[in-house]
Structure formats: structure tokens, C-alpha cells
Structure 1
Amino acid sequence: MSELEEAFRALKRLTPSRLRLEPGAGAAPLSAVLDFQASHASARDAITMPVDWAGVTRAIAPAEAIAVHSRADSREVYIRRPDLGRRLREADLARLPKGPFDLAIVVADGLSAHAVNDNGGALVAALLAAFADLNVAPVVLVEQGRVGIGDEVGAALGADLVLVLVGERPGLSVTNSLGAYLTRSPKVGTPDSARNCVSNIHGKGGLSLADATHKINWLVRYARKLGVTGVGLKDLSDTVPLLD
């Protein structure tokens, strides 16, 4: 095996992404074309298919969950009007309990139902166990929701911190990646610079659920200690011990 081939195989072990076509002249082989088309179809399905909210609810039981909907009435509206995906329907807003709470956890479909179906329930269950000492609000499940909807939900709940778990934009290699966004003192209009993000949570070479739980737990503990999230809170979870 040549040195170049060894380097390629080593690189291939680090990512599920397509790195090259196999050597050879002529057009792309049929297997590569079919694989690309299948991946493209899976990515489109991740965006358009609905989340199995009943399955998520079962996964986090016996914790209480509240199902709500953004102001985007359909998937088509959600795609065209990102602003509506950041706001909650008035009727659903009125259903949220009033805190105060230390933490609110929001699960939104975002751009990948696969991400929420595959990882959302398990991650919420792990986080609830990690935050057993905190006053955590009922888990809010948002259909047609974006990251920013956590600001309105967190403010309505009276939560000091809001954590939004959302399906990330699918790619041709990974369609079930989940992102986590932590914001202190949430309110409508909070800039993205005020959030901490833990992304690429999935089981296909991404951040494992155990590692994601550790990072999020670390960020929540230090956000409570320092009173800040976003650019004022650097993720040092790999080197700085977790607070007791």
C-alpha cells in the first residue's frame, strides 16, 4: 500500500463524508451515483418528515412534557418564514406554567426530524438525570420550531436558563445531527452571541450522547456560577472539572 493510500484510509476513519471517488477513468461508477442519490433523498426526508413526538414523550417519561406549536402553520411556511418559527402561538404561550425555574429544556424539530427521533428523547432523559438537583421546568416540545423560540418559551416560564435541542440542517453524510443551544435570561430578540452551542450530536462519528450530556452539564453549571452564557462563557469542559 502506498503512503498516499495509507494517508487516505487514515483520513477516511475520521469522517463519514465522501472524500473521493475510487481511482479509475471514465464516469462515476453506478454505485457512487446511487449512493449519492440515496443520501440526497435521506436529507430531504429529514427536513420534510414529521417528528415522532409520541416517541419522544415516551423516552423522557415520567417527566412532564408540554406539546406546543410555533406560528409557522406548516412545513412550507416554516421554510419560507424563519421568523415565524421563532415565535410561539399565543394560545400555547398561555398554557406554559409560571416559574421561576432554574432551567427550561425545549426540544424543537428544526431542520431534521431524524435528529430528534434518533437522539432527542435519549439526550433529554440523560440531562434530566444530570440536573436532578435543579428546579427544571416541564419539557416543552415545539413543532415547527427554531433556536430562537427558546427565548420566548424560557421568558414565559420564568427560567434563568433555557436549553434548546434542535435538529440541525442535514447533509449528505449525516442527516440526524442534533444541536444544543444554552441561553441565560432568555427574552425575545436575544442575539446568537448570547448563546453557547454544542453541535454535531449523533452516533455516526459525531459527539456521543454521553459526551454531549457532559458538555451541556458543564456549561449549565458554569453559566449558573458566572451568570453568563455566550461569548462570556468559554467551553472548557474537556480540561476544567465539573462543578460539584
Structure 2
Amino acid sequence: MTDRHDMTPTSPQLSLTELRALTPARVGLGRAGASLTTQALLDFTLDHARARDAVHAPFEAEAIAAVLAGQGTNALIVTSQVADRADYLKRPDLGRRLSRESRELLEGRDSVACDLVIVIADGLSPAAVNAHALGLLGTLMPKLAGVGIGAVVVAGGARVALGDEVGALLRARMTIMLIGERPGLSAPQSLGAYLTFAPQPGLTDAARNCVSNIQAAGLSFEEAASKIAWLAREGLNRNMTGVALKDESGLQLVAPLVAPA
């Protein structure tokens, strides 16, 4: 039996102040009687308002397309079947299908088969897309050098599955959709990237790979772009995405245990 005085001392516990500095999550909020402290309640109310604002922020589709045009990329602007933002929130199914005008636009292009189509979509946080999509795309494009990119599409009122119809109409082997994720109280502007091989209407999320939490307090553009590019290249090489394709991009960063002679 080991005497407690002979045990190796453990590391000192973090103070609440130190713990709060490690995470944006609500830790050790304290109590005032049976309720939260006034400051904790005010912080919660502010973050809740920011999350709601992110959902209802106007999507800057034309501005994004204009920046891309200035960089030499002529983006196509499309919309889903939703009538407005309230319709978008009530009818997720309408956000998964193109409007008649947008479908005719893509059908009329008579597209040549390509490796990849990139879709920039508002999703549940247009604010995230307005803030991060162009920065992420600028970091991602050089990492996709040699991949045949057929088009960049900017989609309003979109759910993730809208990319399946877009990719099928543009004859893409794969779509990458950059879309605003559902806002959290500590992450109202989080961007996600969804990769889908052989896109076509009717696919489920089991057919996709996702790189999420792309934001200031999450994945940086460089980290996210490296993961997305690895998944895109491997998915195209293996003819698959989804549950069959595991993200092993981090293994490239692991140094060998034994240095070469």
C-alpha cells in the first residue's frame, strides 16, 4: 500500500481565469442566488443576438462575385427555390433545389466535364460566408493546382444538398461547397466545407466529407485549405467521398521517429 506522502505530486489545477482563457465556452459562470450573475446573463444575451444576426444577415452574393471577377474568375450566381429568409428557415427542402431560372442558366451553359466545381453558399450563417469565403478560397486555390476546376458558383438560399444539383448540371466529378454553418453562441461566423464525389440529387450526408469550424477561434484558412485540398485530391483519385474516405491529411505533418541516415 502506497503512503499518500510518497505519491508523485500532481500538476496544480488551473484557475477559472486560466481555464476561461483556453476556450470560448462558458466555464465557471458563477451564481447570484439561484440565477446567473448579471455579467454572465448580459454576455449570453449579446452572444445570442449575434447568432441571430448571423442567420439573418444579407448574403453579399453580388459583391463576392464581383471580387472573383476582379481576380479573373467569372462566378455564376444562382438561387434556390426559397422565396425569402423566413421561407428558407421553414422549408429546408426548398433550399436543396435550384430555382427554375437558375437551373435553366446552368443547363444552358452546355458544360464540359470537369474535375471540380466550387460552390459558395450562404447557408445558416451568411455572415460567415461574407467574412471568410473569399479568404479561404484564396488560400485553397493554389493547393488545387492541376485539378480541373469547371466553375465557381455563388448560391443564395442554399442548403448543402444544393451543390449536388449544381455539380450534376455542370458535369463535375466533385463539388466543394463553402457554406455558413449553424451559428453557435461562441461561433456565429463559422464556415464549413462539404466535398461530394459524383454529385447528384438525392445523396445523403454519408456521401460527403466535411471540414468545419473554419473561423478565427477554430481552423485557420491554411489548416482548412490543406485538409480540403487533401480530401479533394484523394477523393478524385479514389473515386469516393464520405464515410469511405477518412481524413488522413494530418499524417503528412507527422515527423518520422527516426531521421534518415
TM-score by length of 2: 0.85
Change in Cα spacing, 1:55 to 1:129, as seen in structure 2 (3 Å) is farther
Q: In the alignment, what sits opposite 2:28?
A: 20
Q: Which residue of 2 aligns with 1:125?
A: 138
Counterpart of 1:193 in structure 2 is 206
Q: Structure 2 CA distance, aligned partners of 1:58 and 1:94?
A: 22
Name the amino acid aligned to 1:229: T
For 2:112, the equivalent position in structure 1 comes to: 99
Distance in 2 of aligned mates of 1:138 and 1:58: 15
**Offset at residue 7 of structure 1 (A):** 5.4
Q: In the superposition, relative to structure 1, how do residues 119 and 25 fare at CA in structure 2: closer, same or farther (>3 Å)?
A: same
CA contact (8 A) 1:59 1:122 kept: no
Ranges of 4+ aligned residues in structure 1 off by more than 6 Å: none
How many residues are matched? 238
Q: How far does the alpha carbon of each residue in 1:65-90 deviate from its partner, in whole angstroms, 9 at most, with x for none?
A: 11110001111111111110000012
Please tell me whether the aligned partners of residues 99 and 158 of structure 1 are also in contact (alpha carbons under 8 angstroms): yes
Contact 1:57 1:121 in 2 (8 A): no
SS of 1:176's equivalent in the other structure is coil
SS in 2 for 1:14: coil
Counterpart CA distance in 1 for 2:141 and 2:67 is 12
For residues 223 and 15 of structure 1, the distance between their equivalents in structure 2, rounded to whole angstroms, comes to 33
Is 1:114 equivalent to 2:127 in the alignment?
yes
Specify the structure having the higher radius of gyration (Cα).
2
Question: Which SS does the other structure have where 1:239 is aligned?
Answer: helix
Q: Is the 8 A contact 2:121 2:154 kept in 1?
A: yes
Query: What is the SS of the residue equivalent to 1:187?
Result: coil
Q: Secondary structure at the match of 1:46?
A: helix
The Cα shift of 1:25 comes to 5.1
1:68 aligns with 2:78: yes
Superposition pairs for residues 28-39 of structure 1, below 5 Å?
28-39=36-47
Equivalent pair of 1:59/1:125 in contact (CA under 8 Å)? no
Q: Which amino acid aligns with 1:90?
A: R
Rounded to whole Å, the distance in 2 between the matches of 1:230 and 1:58 is 33
1:27-66 alpha-carbon deviations (Å, 9 max, x no partner): 4332222211111111111111212223322443321111
* 1:48-87 correspondence runs (5 A): 48-60=56-68, 61-87=71-97
Q: Deviations over 1:203-234 (max 9, x none)?
A: 12x01110000000000111111111111110
Q: Deviations over 1:185-218 (max 9, x none)?
A: 00000121111010111012x0111000000000
Query: Deviation string for 1:77-113 (max 9, x for gaps)?
Result: 1111111000001211121231211100001111001
Correspondence for 2:164 among 143, 151, 157: 151
Which residue of 233, 239, 244 maps to 2:251?
239
Q: Report SS of the residue matched to 2:150.
A: coil
CA contact 2:65–2:77 (8 Å) conserved in 1: no
Identity of aligned residues (%): 42
Unaligned 5+ segments in structure 2 are: 1-10, 254-261
The aligned amino acid for 2:90 is: R
The residue matched to 1:32 in structure 2 has which SS? helix
Deviation at 1:3, TM superposition (A): 4.2
Q: Distance in 1 between matches of 2:12 and 2:112?
A: 61
Q: Distance in 1 between matches of 2:63 and 2:27?
A: 35
Letter in 2 for 1:78: Y
Supply the AA of the counterpart residue of 1:17. Answer: A
